[in-house]
Amino acid sequence: MQIDIHKNKIINIIDNNVRFEDKLQAICDYLEHSIDYYDWVGFYFKNGNKQELKLAQFTGENTEHVIIPFGKGICGQVAVSNENFVVQDVTEQDNYISCGLNVKSEIVIPIFVAGENIGQIDIDSHSISPFTEDDTKLLEFVCLEVAKHIKLPVI
C-alpha cells in the first residue's frame, strides 16, 4: 500500500475549505475508490447520549444498519472496547452484523476526542484476509485527522 500518498491525500481533503460533513464524505469516496479491497467505507458516531451508533457519511451499498446498539456487531463492540477490531474472516465472528453476503472481512478503528470514543471508521471488504498493519496505520491516521478537525455533534 502507498501509505504516504494516501496520508497526503487525506490531509488535502481535511484542509479543503468545505463543510466538515463533505470532508468525511470525500474521505469515504477516496478510500473506497483508491484501495481496491475497500468495498464499503463509512463513519459511525455516537448518537447523542444514547448507547448506540448512528451511520453518518459512507460510500458503497446502502445498509439497513443505520443504528447499531453498543455491544452489537463489530462496530458496537468497538464502541465499548475502545480498541481497533480487525476481522480477516467475518465467518469466524459470532457477534457480527452482516451488511451483505459479499462481505468477507472488516476493519473498524475508533475515533477519540479528548479521550472519549465518539465514533469510528468502518471498512468492509469482499476479500478474505486483505488487511495488513498498513491498513491499521492509515486508518488510525485518518481517525486522528478527523478527530483534530471534528465539530461536534456530527449527527
> What part of residues 35-74 is at the interface with ligand SME (CB under 6 A)?
40, 42, 63, 65, 68, 73-74
Instruction: Give the long-range contacts of residues 137-144, CB within 8 A, separation 24 or more.
Output: 137/3, 138/1, 138/3, 138/6, 138/7, 139/107, 139/109, 140/84, 140/109, 141/7, 141/10, 142/10, 142/27, 142/31, 142/109, 143/109, 143/110, 143/111, 143/112
Which of 99, 121, 138, 143 is close enough to bind ligand SME by CB under 6 A?
99
Which of 39, 124, 135, 145 is close enough to bind ligand SME by CB under 6 A?
124
- Rounded to the nearest whole angstrom, what is the least distance from the CB of residue 77 to ligand SME in the complex? 7
Which of 43, 57, 79, 122 is close enough to bind ligand SME by CB under 6 A?
122
Torsions phi, psi for 17 (to 5 deg):
-90, 65
Cell numbers at 49, concatenated: 447520549
Binding mask 1-40 for ligand SME (x = CB under 6 A): ---------------------------------------x
Number of residues that bind ligand SME (CB under 6 A): 15
Does 119 bind ligand SME (CB under 6 A)? Our answer is no
Does 135 bind ligand SME (CB under 6 A)? Our answer is no
**Spatial separation of the C-alpha atoms in residues 112 and 151, rounded to whole Å:** 13
- Rounded to the nearest whole angstrom, what is the least distance from the CB of residue 30 to ligand SME in the complex? 18
First to last CA, the chain: 32
* Interacting residue ranges for ligand SME, rule: CB under 6 A: 40, 42, 63, 65, 68, 73-76, 96-97, 99, 106, 122, 124
